[in-house]
Structure 1
Amino acid sequence: MSYIYALVALVGALGILNLVFTFGVVRRLREHTEMLTQSNRVQGSGPKVMLGEGETVGAFSAVTVEGAELSQDDLTKDTTLFGAFAYGCSSCDERLPAFLALAEGFPGGKDNVFAVVVGPAENVGEKRDRLAPVARVVTEEQGGVVAAALGVKGFPAFALLDSSGVVRVAGTMVEDVSMASAGAV
C-alpha cells in the first residue's frame, strides 16, 4: 500500500513539474513572437504585399467614386499616402480605423491620400463610404489596373509615395507608414 502512495506522489510531482515547464515554454514563445514582430517592423522584412521601397508606380488610369479622373501623374504632386483594402479581408477591417485616423491628419488632406478598395461593387460600399471623406477612392474588381500599377498582391497594403511616384515605405501595418509620414512632410 505504501508503494501506491509513493507512486501517486511521484506522478503528482511529475505533473506539477511538467506544468511548470509548459508555462515556461509558452512564456518564451510569447517573448520570441514579440521579438520577431518588432524585428520585422524595424527591418521591413514582413510579407511583400505591394511595390517595395524605391520602386515606381506603374501607369494607370481610373475614375474615383466621386467621378474624377485619376492617373499615376496625379500622385506626383506631393507625398501621397496610399492604402489598399479588399472585401472579405478581416485584417483590412481591423486596420481601416487606424488608416482613417492617419488620413484625416495627413498634410495636404484628401488630395494627398489615395485608396483602392478591391471586390465586387455591391460588397465594397461600406469601406468606400468610410474612406471617401478622407481620400480619393477607386473601387475595382480583383486584378484591376490600380492594384496592378502599385503591385498589390495582398491586403491590406499601405505606402507612402514621394513626389516622383516612387515608394518610400510600404507594409501591411498602418504603423509602417505612419512613423515615416511624421518625418516625410
Structure 2
Amino acid sequence: MPFLIAAVVLVGVLCLFDLLLTFAVLRRLREHTAELERLAGRPGFSSYDPGMLVGHRLPEAARAPGATLVAFFDAQCDTCHDHAPKFAVRARRYGALAVVSGDGARADELVAAVGPDAAVIRGEDAHAVADDTGIQAFPTFVLVDGEGSVVQASTELAELPEPAPAA
C-alpha cells in the first residue's frame, strides 16, 4: 500500500509540473506572437470616411467643364464594375468625370461600362489624381461645385443627391 500511495503522489506531482510547463509555453507563445507582429510592422485597418474630402479642391487634372459628379474607380475592384452602369445613368443626365485607375482589359471594360457621356481620366494620370485627392477606397463618388471644391463624397452612389443638370 505505501508503494501505491507513493505512485499516486508521484503522478500528481508530474501532472502539476506538466501543467506549469504548459502555462509557461503558452505565455511564451503569446509574447512571441506579439513580437512577430511588432517586427512585421503590420498596420492595423484604419477607418476611411470619404466625408473627410469635403471642402478639399480637386486637382486641376480632375476638373472638367460642367463636371458635377466625379467617380474614382479601380480596374481590379469588383464593386467598381458593379457601380459603373449606375454612374453611367447619371453621366447621361449630368456632367460627369470618371477617374479609372489601372490598365489592361479590366480597365477597358470599366471605361466602356462608364459610357461615352462621362469624361474619363485613366492610367498614370488617374493614379496621380486619386492620390492628390486623397482617395483611399474604391469606388468613391464626389460631388463638386463649379470651382472644383468637394461638396459631398461617399463610397455609395445612392447616398449622393442628384446633382443639378449641367449647363
Shared fold, TM over 0.5: yes
TM-score by length of 1: 0.56
Change (3 A) 1:121 1:78: same
Return 5+ residue gaps in structure 1 as ranges: 1-45, 60-70, 107-111
The equivalent of 1:54 in structure 2 is 55
Question: Is 1:169 aligned to 2:152, yes or no?
Answer: yes
CA offsets per residue over residues 57-94 of structure 1, 9 Å max, x none?
134xxxxxxxxxxx35x43x445210111122121122
Question: Is 1:181 aligned to 2:163, yes or no?
Answer: yes
1:132 Cα deviation from its structure 2 partner: 4.1
CA contact (8 A) 1:49 1:172 kept: yes
CA offsets per residue over residues 69-128 of structure 1, 9 Å max, x none?
xx35x43x445210111122121122122111111111xxxxx31101111234311111
Change (3 A) 1:122 1:82: same
CA contact (8 A) 2:67 2:97 kept: no
CA offsets per residue over residues 138-165 of structure 1, 9 Å max, x none?
1125982121232211100101110111
Question: Is 1:147 aligned to 2:117, yes or no?
Answer: no
What is the aligned counterpart of 1:82 among 41, 51, 70? 70
CA contact (8 A) 1:83 1:158 kept: yes
Give 1 or 2 for the bigger CA radius of gyration: 2
CA–CA distance in 2 between the matches of 1:78 and 1:143?
19
CA contact (8 A) 2:66 2:166 kept: no
Give the number of aligned pairs: 121
Structure 1's consecutive aligned runs of 4 or more residues displaced over 6 angstroms after TM superposition are: none
TM-score by length of 2: 0.61
Question: Is 1:94 aligned to 2:77, yes or no?
Answer: no
CA contact (8 A) 1:159 1:171 kept: yes
The alignment partner of 1:181 has SS state of: coil
The equivalent of 1:105 in structure 2 is 93
Root-mean-square deviation (CA, aligned residues, Å) is: 2.9
Change (3 A) 1:82 1:153: same
Change (3 A) 1:132 1:184: closer
Q: Provide the identity percentage.
A: 26
